[in-house]
């Protein structure tokens, strides 16, 4: 007996994978049952995107906000350095710039990074919306300064920041003491019809928001690559033999320049490789006393037993018979 022909398996009209960018409306339930033997033929007739795999999840270091906060954000596709993106953070929908992929080495360099999610690359509509939000900040600044004056609050408003989504406006101010600005917030919320946040900042953050160029002729570090302001002490300036004139070693914020810290670790290491000032040493020419250190050149100024003062290298020191004495301003404390 001849076997009747088998009916062709019906091909599903929709194939949906949760998390797929082309995912259909979740209110629509689709089910399908396909004969495994016809998979190749189905793929030939109508290619279907594969389910989302682990490779569809990426993480990037992103810079956001007026204070240039660094965040580690997840994404569904790859982005490159400098890409302008729209992100969702705990503050709301905001503009950001991709810096690098969030590798373990990159994340280790970050101090308390915030989280977030990259929603999409900036579109032309997003750019237009961002320009509108930026254009409103001048009027926001005028409004809050008028209200501060009317309420007699002892605070100086420095800058204003609007989020891309418009759901929040942040005002940054400096003040010597704590300020009760609850009445100010109520008035601003009533007039601007959005969420208001006032944040008190220090003089270093003020420079980060407003400063442009430093004495070196370049854009100030706090407004380019620095995300955290490192502590800087006068000892760092002394160790590097920088001038102690406050007007020359102070930045736009009026505090010691952040760049004094950049090479401080190197100077400490170089100092440890030389005998301290006041030490008694032995050289090929006899005994001598250390008078000063030249850290970068790895040389020391010594006084010999016949009262000659000469500059010798660290390699010429055969032994240190007595360390120390009263340290000079370049000695390690």
CATH code at 308?
2.30.30.140
Q: Is 319 exposed, middle or buried (0-12, 13-18, 19+ CB in 10 A)?
A: exposed
With respect to residue 213, please indicate whether it lies within any of the assigned structural domains: yes
Domain identity same for 132 and 190: yes
Q: Are residues 136 and 113 in the same domain?
A: no
Q: Cα–Cα distance between 237 and 214 in angstroms, integer?
A: 17
| CA 146 vs CA 8, 36, 236, 295: distances in Å | 77, 73, 43, 55
| 70's tokens | 């660094």
Q: Which of 194, 217, 235 is the last residue of a domain?
A: 194
| pTM (two decimals) | 0.66
> Is 69 in the same domain as 116?
yes
Same domain, residue pair 92 and 109: yes
Range of the domain at 117: 55-122
Q: Is residue 73 part of a domain?
A: yes
Q: pLDDT value at position 34?
A: 35
| Domain count for the chain | 4
Looking at the structure, do residues 116 and 131 belong to the same domain, yes or no?
Answer: no
- 296 within a domain of the structure (yes/no): yes
Which of 94, 122, 150 marks a domain boundary? 122
212 and 237, same structural domain? yes
Shared-domain flag, residues 118 and 131: no
Q: Is 11 a domain residue?
A: no
Domain identity same for 292 and 312: yes
**Looking at the domain assignment, is residue 332 inside a domain?**
no
83 phi and psi, to 5 degrees? Answer: -65, 135
Question: Cα–Cα distance between 84 and 294 in angstroms, integer?
Answer: 47
C-beta of residue 228 within 8 angstroms of C-beta of residue 111 = yes
116 in any annotated domain: yes
Are residues 113 and 135 located together in one domain of the fold?
Answer: no
Same domain, 179 and 163: yes
pLDDT score, position 329: 38
Domain boundary among 83, 99, 122: 122
Residue 333 lies in a domain: no
328 part of a folded domain? no
| 178, 155: one domain | yes
Say if CB 302 and CB 291 are below 8 A apart: yes
CA dist 70 and 112 (Å) reads 9
Question: Does 238 lie in the same domain as 215?
Answer: yes
- Contacts of 188 by beta carbon, 8 Å cutoff, 6+ apart: 143, 144, 147, 169, 171, 196
**pLDDT attached to residue 9:** 46
Write down the pLDDT at residue 6.
53
pLDDT along the chain (333 residues), means of 10: 49 40 36 37 39 68 92 94 95 94 92 92 95 94 95 94 93 93 94 94 87 85 80 90 86 88 92 92 92 92 92 93 61 35
- Report residue 321: phi and psi, to 5°: -85, -25
């Amino acid at each position: 007996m001849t076997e009747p022909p088998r009916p062709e398996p019906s091909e599903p009209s929709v194939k949906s994978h949760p998390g797929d960018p082309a995912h259909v409306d979740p209110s629509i339930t689709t089910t399908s049952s396909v004969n495994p033997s016809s998979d190749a033929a189905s793929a030939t007739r109508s290619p279907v995107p594969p389910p989302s795999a682990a490779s569809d999840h990426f993480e990037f270091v992103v810079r956001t906000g007026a204070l240039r906060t660094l965040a580690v954000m997840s994404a569904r596709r790859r982005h490159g350095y400098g890409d302008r993106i729209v992100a969702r953070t705990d503050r709301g929908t905001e503009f950001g710039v991709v810096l690098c992929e969030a590798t373990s080495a990159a994340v280790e360099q970050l101090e308390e990074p915030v989280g977030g999610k990259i929603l999409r690359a900036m579109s032309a509509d997003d750019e237009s919306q961002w320009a509108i939000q930026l254009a409103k900040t001048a009027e926001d600044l005028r409004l809050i300064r008028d209200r501060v004056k009317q309420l007699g609050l002892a605070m100086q408003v420095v800058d204003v920041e609007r989020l891309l989504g418009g759901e929040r406006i942040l005002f940054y101010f400096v003040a010597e003491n704590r300020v009760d600005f609850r009445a100010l917030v109520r008035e601003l919320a009533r007039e601007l019809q959005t969420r208001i946040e006032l944040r008190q900042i220090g003089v270093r953050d003020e420079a980060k928001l407003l400063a442009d160029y430093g004495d070196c002729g370049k854009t100030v570090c706090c407004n380019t690559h620095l995300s955290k302001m490192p502590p800087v002490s006068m000892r760092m300036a002394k160790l590097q033999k920088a001038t102690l004139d406050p007007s020359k070693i102070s930045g736009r914020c009026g505090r010691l320049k952040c760049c004094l810290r950049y090479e401080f670790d190197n100077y400490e290491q170089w100092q440890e490789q030389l005998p301290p000032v006041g030490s008694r040493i032995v050289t090929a020419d006899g005994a001598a006393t250390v008078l000063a250190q030249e850290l970068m050149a790895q040389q020391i100024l010594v006084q010999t037993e016949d009262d000659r003062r000469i500059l010798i290298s660290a390699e010429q020191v055969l032994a240190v018979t007595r360390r120390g004495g009263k340290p000079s301003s370049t000695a390690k404390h």
